[in-house]
């Protein structure tokens, strides 16, 4: 992927750029608001990482001007401000995702993947099939090899997240945001306990687990299952 990184803090920028390069991405780094706006207008990027506080032009203002063009490039806003009101401001300005510093690199990488590969209009899909598993979004039904699997609403929502991000990692906080609508991290294992039930139900009558745990990052659905 070709990623535009707009971040004025040299240390943070180096840490992100090195990490993304190591994952095989191509990174263009700018350190000011006007340069970020110019770079995003001049070239086509798969995703933009935009720091909220940029010299010259505020990150949110860059975002507003981009969206006014309109430029629909996926944008992930980074911020040191974790308040509820700040997050709402960011999403109002047109951010696709919002990540509060300090964050784990795996979290950034997972969210970037989820954003950049978001195919326009997947929400209209009524059926997702990955390997042996099929998800009917209208009837809220799941089958594995044609055999029905009965899931609770939250288990279904977890599986839907995993299948929409087939082959990519979904982190714990992504589950919390998308399934529960929580933008904070409860210190207990509600994600784990629901996932464990989901896995047990999917595995019933089969020998293998279609969901992989990626240690230190999150979960991924196997595309070969």
Applying CB under 8 A, the residues found at the interface with other proteins are 82-85, 88, 102, 104, 154, 180-190, 193-194, 196-197, 215-216
> Rounded to an integer, what distance in angstroms lies between the CA atom of residue 219 and that of residue 169?
5
Q: Which of 71, 70, 12, 11 is nearest to 47 (CA)?
A: 71
Peptide bond into 102 cis (omega under 30): yes
Q: Count CB neighbours of 217 within 10 A.
A: 17
CB of 172 to other proteins, least distance (A): 11
Q: Own/partner pairs for 131-135, CB < 8 Å, 24+ apart?
A: 131/210, 131/222, 131/223, 131/224, 131/225, 132/210, 132/225, 133/159, 133/163, 133/202, 133/210, 133/221, 133/225, 135/159, 135/160, 135/163
In angstroms, how far is CA 187 from the centroid of its own chain? 21
Nearer of residues 30 and 159 to other proteins, judged by Cβ: 159
Nearer of residues 23 and 145 to other proteins, judged by Cβ: 23
Nearer of residues 167 and 186 to other proteins, judged by Cβ: 186
> Rounded to an integer, what distance in angstroms lies between the CA atom of residue 86 and that of residue 210?
38
């Amino acid at each position: 992927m070709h990623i535009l990184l707009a971040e004025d803090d040299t240390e943070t920028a180096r840490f992100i750029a090195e990490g993304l390069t190591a994952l095989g991405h191509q990174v263009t780094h700018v350190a000011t608001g006007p340069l970020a706006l110019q770079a995003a207008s001049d070239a086509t990027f798969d995703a933009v990482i935009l720091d909220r506080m940029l010299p010259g032009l505020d990150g949110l203002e860059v975002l507003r001007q981009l969206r006014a063009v309109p430029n629909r490039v996926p944008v992930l806003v980074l911020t040191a401000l974790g308040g509820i009101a700040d997050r709402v401001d960011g999403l109002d300005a047109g951010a696709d995702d919002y990540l509060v510093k300090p964050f784990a690199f795996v979290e950034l990488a997972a969210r970037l993947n989820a954003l950049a590969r978001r195919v326009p209009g997947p929400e209209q899909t009524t059926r997702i099939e990955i390997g042996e598993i099929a998800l009917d979004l209208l009837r809220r039904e799941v089958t594995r090899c044609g055999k029905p699997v009965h899931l609770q609403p939250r288990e279904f929502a977890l599986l839907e997240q995993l299948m929409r991000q087939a082959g990519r990692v979904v982190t714990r906080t992504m589950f919390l945001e998308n399934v529960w609508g929580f933008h904070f991290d409860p210190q207990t294992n509600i994600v784990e306990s629901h996932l464990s039930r989901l896995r047990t139900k999917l595995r019933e009558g089969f020998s293998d687990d279609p969901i992989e745990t990626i240690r230190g990052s999150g979960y991924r659905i196997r595309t070969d299952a």
